[in-house]
Structure 1
Amino acid sequence: MSNAPFLVAPLDAAHERTGFHSGSDPLDRYLREQVTQDIRRRVAACFVALADLPASISKKLPRYPTVPAVRMGRLAVDEAFSGQGLGGALLADALERAARPEIAAHALMVDAKDGHAAAFFGHHGFIAQPDSPLTLFLPLTTALQSRNPRN
């Protein structure tokens, strides 16, 4: 089994598509109304990314089999600036960008390179995937609530 937080699989009839919103009406309409026919005619292939979330998180979500997420590539701070809060500031900036209304995402995902990095993200509220402790996520609503506690 892969330690990746997402399983990429071919689209099939069991995948719920009505709740999918990419922000592009033509793409959404294609996924809902046309892609199955194109797959059958062998003129297209369509894959979906599936994520397993801990039960404590998934029970709070709509009954969709997957949720959209933003994945952060890398986060590093030069040693000359270590311990000055720059890593936390960069992370806060990434969270703010990921939570913008024009980006439809439920969580920010990270792949910690080692235990030290995983501890950094854990300190900032990220939750480790049950089967992959170096893959962590933070629901964006949690990030927004911690930045705006009165909302």
Structure 2
Amino acid sequence: MALALLAEHVRPLDKAHDRQSFDCGHPGLNRYLREQARQDAEKRVAAPFAFTQPGSPAVLGFYTLSAAIIPVQELPPDLMKRLPRYGQLPVTLLGRLAVDRSVGGQGVGEFLLVDALRRSLEAAQQIAAMAVIVDAKDERAERFYRHFDFQPFQRTPLRLFLPMAQVAQLFA
């Protein structure tokens, strides 16, 4: 399926999406999608996006985006030297990303990551964000993000970031 066609099927989570059959293998992520994601959207604390196949309301993958800030001292020293001397910096938090087991190993996670990065870059053109950050749930998730050049924070290794300048290069 072409990426442009796939992108048409990543939309903000709404009532029409079937969330109950979703199973990514992580009970916490399953529960979040089923019970909390729409509430977070309504309260504007996270923006959940759901991926479905054409003609089906079943969620096959999802991610959330939020505005966040990070302490500048968490960044690697070489990057800190190139940034303004603020105590905190604005970022986009990719809070959750999960794929249903039925489509595991088919590139849906990578596609959702690229879609999240694209949306983050578009938003950063209107409201500043110097990076996209993620909190990897485990070492497997950390490997996934590091494969896409996310770098670890100094003090919290499972918290990773990708500078927005690098994100922009992906879409140049």
Q: Which amino acid aligns with 1:117?
A: A
What's the CA shift for 1:108? 0.7
**Matching residue of 2:147:** 123
**Separation of aligned partners in 1, 2:146 and 2:70:** 24
Distance 1:108 1:49 in 2: 11
> Equivalent residue for 1:105?
129
What TM-score do you get using the length of structure 2 for normalisation? 0.55
The runs of 5 or more residues in structure 1 that have no matched partner are 1-47
Distance 1:74 1:66 in 2: 22
Q: Which residue, out of 20, 29, 54, partners 2:76?
A: 54
Q: What is the RMSD computed on CA atoms of the aligned residues?
A: 1.6
Measured in 2, the distance between the counterparts of 1:136 and 1:105 equals: 15
Aligned-pair CA distance for 1:99: 1.1
1:12-50 deviation digits (Å, cap 9, x = unpaired): xxxxxxxxxxxxxxxxxxxxxxxxxxxxxxxxxxxx863
Q: TM-score, normalised by structure 1?
A: 0.62
Partner of 1:132: 156
Q: Point out the structure with the larger strand share.
A: 2
Aligned to 2:116: 94
| Matched positions, count | 101
Distance 1:120 1:88 in 2: 9
Gaps of 5+ in 2: 1-68
Q: Percent identity?
A: 44
